[in-house]
């Protein structure tokens, strides 16, 4: 049996709207319109990942319960970068099949150019 959710008051709704508008006005905020269930799921993961990754970078090399050794943290950062690159390539592949223009993010383009062998340039 599904649990019924209580209806928000007008004040609660307005408070949520105000919070979202304030967030959208921040310099480092990005606003996106999500049109699919998969996009919604990925956005939820990304929101959490960004906070976790930021904390990883801050605590790498620290000792103690909240720290993470350089080797382990570095390996996780490499794995994260590989996943981002694979996701970009998948997005590019799907876009090509649909004749849809995919703009590879500058960070990925720059990384790709920097890692190409000299002979290929």
What tens digit of pLDDT does each residue of 38-81 get?
999 999 999 999 999 999 999 999 888 889 999 999 999 999 99
Q: Six-digit token pair at 2?
A: 């599904």
Mean pLDDT of all residues belonging to the chain:
90
> What is the pLDDT averaged over residues 67-96?
95
Q: Which of 61, 82, 81 is nearest to 71 (CA)?
A: 61
Domain boundaries, the chain: 36-120
pTM assigned to the model: 0.72
Give the per-residue pLDDT at 5: 83
Flag whether pLDDT at 118 surpasses 90: no
In whole angstroms, give the CA distance from residue 76 to residue 55.
Answer: 12
Give the per-residue pLDDT at 18: 94
Q: Are 60 and 70 in contact (CB under 8 A)?
A: yes
In whole angstroms, give the CA distance from residue 68 to residue 105.
Answer: 29
């Amino acid at each position: 049996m599904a649990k019924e959710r209580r209806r928000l008051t007008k004040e609660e709704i307005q408070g949520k709207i105000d919070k979202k508008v304030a967030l959208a006005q921040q310099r480092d905020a990005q606003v996106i319109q999500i049109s699919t269930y998969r996009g919604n799921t990925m956005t939820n993961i990304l929101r959490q990942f960004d906070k976790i990754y930021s904390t990883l970078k801050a605590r790498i090399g620290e000792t103690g319960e909240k720290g993470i050794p350089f080797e382990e943290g570095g390996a996780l950062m490499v794995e994260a970068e590989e996943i981002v690159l694979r996701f970009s390539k998948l997005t590019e592949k799907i876009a090509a099949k649909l004749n849809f223009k995919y703009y590879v993010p500058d960070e990925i383009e720059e990384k790709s150019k920097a890692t190409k062998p000299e002979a290929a340039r």
